Amino acid sequence: MPVRILPSATVAVLLALLAGTGQAQFQHTLPAARLGETAVQRWQFGFTFAAPAGPCRKITASQSVPMDWPEQTVRIVDQRVSPGVDIDYRVIEGAAKQMVVNVASLAAGDTVEALVTFECRRGYLLEPEHREQLALPSRTAALRRYLAPGPYVESSHRTIRALAAEIGKTGGTAWQRAEAIYDWVRENIRFVDNQGQEPADTLTTLQRRDGDCDEMSCLFIALCRASGIPARIVQVPGHVYAEFYLDRTEGTGCWIPCQLSGTRAFGQMPEHRPVLQKGDNLSPPHGKRRKYLILPQHVTAESGAPTVQIVARRLDG
């Protein structure tokens, strides 16, 4: 299928819609994203709760759901919510939107559900134009969080800084410096499927010389941050990749995607699965100030032992 680029004005309207998501606080002016092939997918997110062993009280559950981004627009098309179940939404630090479900009480033997279907329209991200003009950005307050270390991203460790300096000896444009880091990770870290396991920290990945999509992306992000290039994690269902940020000569900037595991994709992202999170080092309200790379699914109950099924599935494919 030929690539179709949306008009800049159309995408600029989509960017304006982000004002309520936390992106508006970003102090750099983002140009319109260049979008290619667009697809629509329907995804269902939510929970079912049962009380097989006795009554339960004050059950709360949360998980990330899709929200609008420059390459993605989202709308709710269906809801199945049992009586006595409440659904709310919250945005965490502009990086992710969470569905929060509350069940006041659940009698012994009862089952209730809270299932929401989201229609997600997402376009492939294409390479930015005039990439040779892109430059390292200034360390503004808005970008500082994307230059700092975080969970599994030990960007300030001397080993990471030394490796970043070694890779950076090749010089070149800001784009070429980011691509050199990308190529080093792909050439030196062997992909292994660690699905279901806790990610290894960046230093362990570097020592083992293997990792999955989380670990390879975290190493890329750490090396970028150690080189003065802001970078962040991006989560879609079943996968993560990275984005890095560069400025244009006129003072605007752009987030640029790259996929560390799987098919080579640097500066572009041929992906239609919905974005669930952009950014890391996040602390949800229930986290008691603990920082997370990826926001976890979370379930608590004041009393009782409910059985909970977490639902996150595609409906149309």
What is the C-alpha separation between 51 and 237, in angstroms, rounded?
A: 28
Written as six digits, the tokens of 263 are 């098919």
Q: Provide CB contacts within 8 A for 72, sequence distance 6+.
A: 66, 120, 121, 122, 123, 274, 275
What is the pLDDT confidence band of residue 255, given thresholds at 50, 70 and 90?
A: very high
Which residues sit opposite 35 in a β-bridge? 125
| Structure confidence by residue, pLDDT tens digits, 38-77 | 999 999 999 999 999 999 999 999 999 999 999 999 999 9
User: 168-221: per-residue pLDDT in tens?
Assistant: 998 899 999 999 999 999 999 999 987 767 888 999 999 999 999 999 999 999
CA distance 271 to 126: 11
3-state secondary structure of 142: helix
Count of alpha carbons within 13 angstroms of residue 102, beta-carbon side: 7
Q: Tell me the domains of the chain and their CATH numbers.
A: 8-124+285-314 (no CATH), 131-267 (3.10.620.30)
Mean pLDDT of the chain: 89
Q: Report the predicted TM-score, pTM, of the whole model to 2 decimal places.
A: 0.88
- pLDDT number for residue 55: 96
